[in-house]
Amino acid sequence: MDKNLKRMATMNRMQMTGLELFYAQGYYNTSIDDILKSLNLSKGAFYYHFQSKEEFFISIVQNLVFRKVYTMLIEPIEGVENPLRAIEICLDDALKTAEYNDLDYGFVLANFLNEFNGRNDKITRYLTDICKVWEVNLVTALQKGKTDGFVERHVDSEGVASFIISSYFGVRSLMVSGNCKILRYNYIQQLRNYFRSLSPVVLA
Amino acid sequence: MDKNLKRMATMNRMQMTGLELFYAQGYYNTSIDDILKSLNLSKGAFYYHFQSKEEFFISIVQNLVFRKVYTMLIEPIEGVENPLRAIEICLDDALKTAEYNDLDYGFVLANFLNEFNGRNDKITRYLTDICKVWEVNLVTALQKGKTDGFVERHVDSEGVASFIISSYFGVRSLMVSGNCKILRYNYIQQLRNYFRSLSPVVLA
DNA sequence: GCTTTAACCGACCGGGTGGTCGGTGCGTCA
DNA sequence: TGACGCACCGACCACCCGGTCGGTTAAAGC
């Protein structure tokens, strides 16, 4: 069991720094040697634990990316009373981590989706699957919001869900050019505008 | 002058197929040999006309991408009466070309922006410059819309402009997974919802 | 007809990449 | 104590990529 622990520990280290570098430099632009150098490990160690670069990346997507997307973007919305408010807070938090240049896993997803589009169908499928899970959970939350009176009845939940994901992916794309703080502020402001058009009209 | 014509013709051919392949496979994932093979030209021809791969790409951005973004996304909105309506039609058209798998230059922009982010600052700057031109023109159109009574006075034009660009970039990211038609329909629908929250209230 | 030159050819180079493989040190267990 | 095998080492391979350079061809200019 102790052995298994060591194995897991090493694999985990590899996956963590692997994700960091893949995220920072891109998958195709990051060599296995790059990762191994920053880990002080050798080629032998890598191919002892993983079959190939691709299989290594897929293990990262399933173990790290998926779990983080779940805890950061999906869980905070599950079963909550007012979904629109929860989504707003959740995305704002995600953008804040982006602002401090930490790993923003929502954007990790968007970033990789772009990189592999048309280049590696297998990996693309793993990534779109995660998007779908996110989307489905958004739809569920919105539907619940309808019955609870926080979302207008005639709203198209699927449309809203994919619009939310779209806008979020997009704003993260724009954040590369620096002025993240203003972008985040403006984005949340406009998201609120949009959400107002989805809320039941409150008579004063 | 005849010579100059031939020179221009060849350079143009190179740029066109260069953009196609860079767009389809990514810049780093497309070799100069790839491009030359599909052009039936040799390395010599390439380095006779262009100094480097990077300089070649920049010439593509300035000659093809910028001009197309201008004619497809900026010009149709310039000086128009109702900016929100014009923007909606314009983005819908752009997404339609995407649907038929033609080159959608708005997305070309988003795609490359992602690929070069943190990897090549020089190219990133050229791309963000184009985004800025787009944004500025959106802001101008929105401001004009305010004075013409098509946009609410207290609306934050900058915020709206970057939100529009964000959502558009994002929806194009999602379109990789296939069901473009539904995505486009939903997107335009939600964009209309959002725009409603920006319009002056019309009393019936 | 001879020279010049724009346009293009393609072998070649150096550096990097994913992946292989014969080792090796060290803890475990008989 | 000695055999075994897990986790790791690092030299090596075949291939690819951006870029160079000494040619070649054909048309224009005199």
Write down the pLDDT at residue B180: 86
Which range among A83-87, B131-135, B179-183 shows the weakest confidence by mean pLDDT? B179-183
Q: Estimate the share of chain B in helix, then strand, then coil, as percent rounded to the nearest 5.
A: 75, 0, 25
**Intra-chain end-to-end CA distance of chain B, in Å:** 65
DSSP characters over A42-53: -HHHHHHH-S-H
- Sequence-ordered list of residues with C-beta below 8 angstroms from that of A135, at least 6 positions apart, any chain: A158, A161, A162, A165
Best A34, A127, A169 member to test B by mutation, with max B CBs in 10 Å, is A169
Q: How far apart are CA A87 and CA A3, in angstroms?
A: 42
Tens-place pLDDT, residues A32-47: 999 999 999 999 999 9
Tell me the mean pLDDT in the region A68-88. Answer: 95
Structure confidence at residue B198 as a pLDDT band (50, 70, 90):
very high
Tokens of A86: 């929860």
Residues lying close to strand C (Cβ under 7 A), chosen from 42-71 of chain B, are: 42-45, 47-49
Write down the pLDDT at residue B154: 95
Q: Do A194 and B189 touch (CB under 8 A)?
A: no
Give the nucleotide at minimum CA-to-C1' distance from A53: C18
φ, ψ at B26 (rounded to 5°) = 90, 150
The residue whose two tokens read 């989805």 is A198
Q: In which element (H, E) is residue A96 found?
A: helix A83-99
Give the nucleotide at minimum CA-to-C1' distance from B34: D17
| Closest residue to C10 measured CA to C1′ | B42
The answer to whether the CB of A197 falls within 8 A of the CB of B197 is: yes
Distance A37 CA to C27 C1' (A): 26
Q: How far apart are CA A102 and CA B104, in angstroms?
A: 32
Write down the pLDDT at residue B102: 64
Q: How far is CA B107 from CA A14, A84, A88, B134, B174, in A?
A: 34, 28, 26, 13, 11
Asked whether residue B3 carries a pLDDT value surpassing 70, the answer given is: no
Tell me the mean pLDDT in the region A92-119. Answer: 81
Tens-place pLDDT, residues A145-203: 999 999 999 999 999 999 999 999 999 888 877 788 999 999 999 999 999 999 998 65
Write down the pLDDT at residue A175: 84
**Intra-chain end-to-end CA distance of chain A, in Å:** 65
Tokens of B75: 């010009």
pTM reported for the whole predicted model: 0.90
Tens-place pLDDT, residues B58-90: 999 999 999 999 999 999 999 999 999 999 999
Tens-place pLDDT, residues B122-179: 999 999 999 999 999 999 999 999 999 999 999 999 999 999 999 999 998 888 777 8
Tens-place pLDDT, residues A1-26: 455 778 899 999 999 999 999 988 88
Whether B39 sits with its Cβ under 7 A from any strand C atom: the answer reads: no
